[in-house]
Amino acid sequence: MNKVYIIGTGPGDEELLTLKAVEILKNCTAVLYDRLVSNNILNYLKEDCEIYYCGKEPGCHYKTQEEINKTLIRLAKEGHTVGRIKGGDPYVFGRGG
């Protein structure tokens, strides 16, 4: 099984990503991202990276948290290097902790 990385995008400007975040994004073979993630951040991904949208909008959840967790695990078990890209700080505003 490969790794799953939780990647926070901070305030959203791709120029404010950490060097480590950019390095991880460039090496991911699959990512899940939410609606607060800028398309400019997705530009760091490889062309063949599998991309899954799992955002939540008012009145509409595309995937439950349980479905997201299962997808992360499944992709890692399939051999992917997986990134879960979250807007903001995932350890403060999300489920990173």
Give a yes or no: residue 92 inside a domain: no
Give a yes or no: residue 97 inside a domain: no
Give a yes or no: residue 65 inside a domain: yes
User: 38-86: per-residue pLDDT in tens?
Assistant: 999 999 999 999 999 998 888 887 888 899 999 999 999 999 999 999 9
Give a yes or no: residue 79 inside a domain: yes
Give a yes or no: residue 91 inside a domain: no
Q: How confident is the model at residue 1 (pLDDT cuts 50, 70, 90)?
A: low
Tell me: pLDDT of 91 over 70.
no
Tell me the residue range of the domain where 76 lies: 4-86
Tell me: pLDDT of 88 over 90.
no
The pLDDT of residue 56 is 81
For position 15, which CATH number holds? 3.40.1010.10
Count of domains forming the chain: 1
Which residues are paired to 55 by β-bridges?
none
**pTM reported for the whole predicted model:** 0.86
